[in-house]
Amino acid sequence: MTDCSRCGGAMVDMVVPEDGGGAYRGAQIRAQRCTQCAVAWVDTTRIAPRALVGTMLERKREPAAKPCPRCGGRVAKLTLSWDTYWVQIEECAPCRIVAVDPGEYPELRMLLGAAHDVLVSGA
């Protein structure tokens, strides 16, 4: 990845602090954060059993305005909810990366944690 597909800002590598337990314990969550608009593209291969598009967490899907910064492909803008958690993200399903706005990562983690069994079973 080079530049942010949203604003053209420079992307820097970061590791998302992963202090949760259970399935995430010890996971190294890789991400790239834009130094300009602060959006983080998080690699979900370690935090979600599968791509989030098409799961029962999905409440609303529309095409995102900007392409995937990694493959240049189309990105889905998703509203996900489970239990009392909900979050809006953008996902490139083939790359398994999601764009998360600053401060939304904890909500995403809570949601994925709450829905983990459902995601694993593929319901």
Question: Which parts of this chain interact with Zn ion (CB under 5 A)?
Answer: 4, 6-7, 9, 34, 36-37, 68, 70-71, 73, 92, 95
Residue 82 DSSP class: E
Smallest distance from the beta carbon of 49 to Zn ion, in angstroms? 19
What residues contact residue 14 under an 8 Å CB cut-off, 6+ apart?
Answer: 31, 32, 33, 40
Smallest distance from the beta carbon of 84 to Zn ion, in angstroms? 30
Smallest distance from the beta carbon of 101 to Zn ion, in angstroms? 11
Nearer to Zn ion, 44 or 55 (CB): 44
Nearer to Zn ion, 89 or 95 (CB): 95
**Cα–Cα distance, 91 to 89 (Å, whole number):** 6
Q: Taking phi first (over 0 means left), then psi (-120 to 50 degrees means alpha), and beta for anything else, what does residue 51 get?
A: beta
